[in-house]
Amino acid sequence: MTYPIVILGSGRGSNADALLKAEANKQLGAAKIVAIFSDHEDAGILELGQKYQVPAIYIDPQRKGARLSDEAEQNYIDRIASFSPKLIVLAGFMRIIKRPFIEAFEGRMINLHPSLLPSFPGMNGIGQAYEHGVKVTGCTVHWVTPELDAGPIIDQKEVRIQDKDTLEMLEKKVHISEHQLLPDVVARLSQGTIKPL
Ligand code: GAR
């Protein structure tokens, strides 16, 4: 049985790339990435569509800021649903999505966050951890629920912060940890070895 996945992102798409690479290397279980969506027309993540022969779709957010317009959210819901995904992965999707969007896919939507939640939710999780001076941070994959970055945690990977680390060095380390954690979680979800929400 295949396990169709849709990825949403706003930026360079290094985590989407890690997932697509893992799929190409047969490390993603039954998972098959069937579409990529972005709210930024020129986002790097959309360029992965051509590289991996996957539909890459821009949907106009219809407004600036943290949230999509109601009409844009409905467009996302309809276009995503047309791919009948078993899983929706938010991999750097920098919008707070509202309740109807979440409820349309609840139990099928996960988010990647660059800190060890519940520490440092919201924007700039890596910078927040660095500024705070914690010695251990990392990344989290969790189920998306209406409370921002607060859904049940599926798994986490830790990264130690050394005194000599600059913010840039820490960013690199956290991204490396994300590129390991996210494909691992997706493979386990597709194999049914993770408890559903
Ligand atoms: C990742 O570090 C992800 O954890 C973060 O955006 C980055 C996307 O990078 N997400 C958030 O901060 C969500 N609040 P990518 O575009 O290279 O995958």
Ligand 1 binding pocket (C-beta < 6 A) is 9, 11-15, 45, 91-92, 112-114, 125, 175, 178
Per-residue pLDDT of the chain (197 residues; tens, 9 = 90+): 899 999 999 999 999 999 999 999 999 999 999 999 999 999 999 999 999 999 999 999 999 999 999 999 999 999 999 999 999 999 999 999 999 999 999 999 999 999 999 999 999 999 999 999 999 999 999 999 999 999 999 999 999 999 999 999 999 999 999 999 999 999 999 999 998 99
Selected catalytic residue, list 40, 113, 132, 175: 113
Ligand 1 centroid, distance to 12 Cα (angstroms): 9
Nearby residues of 192 by Cβ (< 8 Å), 6 or more positions away:
none
Q: Give the containing element (helix H, strand E) for 105.
A: none
Looking at this protein, which amino acid is placed at residue 147?
A: E
DSSP β-ladder status, 109-113 and 87-90: parallel
In the reported structure, the alpha carbon of residue 113 is separated from the centroid of ligand 1 by a whole-number distance in angstroms of 7
Query: What is the per-residue pLDDT for 79?
Result: 98
| pLDDT score, position 1 | 80
Predicted local distance difference test score (pLDDT) of residue 46: 98
User: What does the block give as tokens for 15?
Assistant: 């985590």
Q: SS3 of 170, please?
A: helix
Q: What is the pLDDT of residue 136?
A: 98
Task: For each of the domains in the chain, give its residue range(s) and CATH number, in order of start.
Answer: 3-190 (3.40.50.170)
Q: Of ligand 1's atoms, which has the minimum distance to the CA of residue 17?
A: 18
Closest CA to 103 of 141, 51, 132, 144: 144
Rounded Cα distance, 67 and 134, in Å: 30
**Cβ burial, residue 156 (10 Å; 0-12/13-18/19+):** middle
Ligand 1 center–CA 114 separation, angstroms: 7
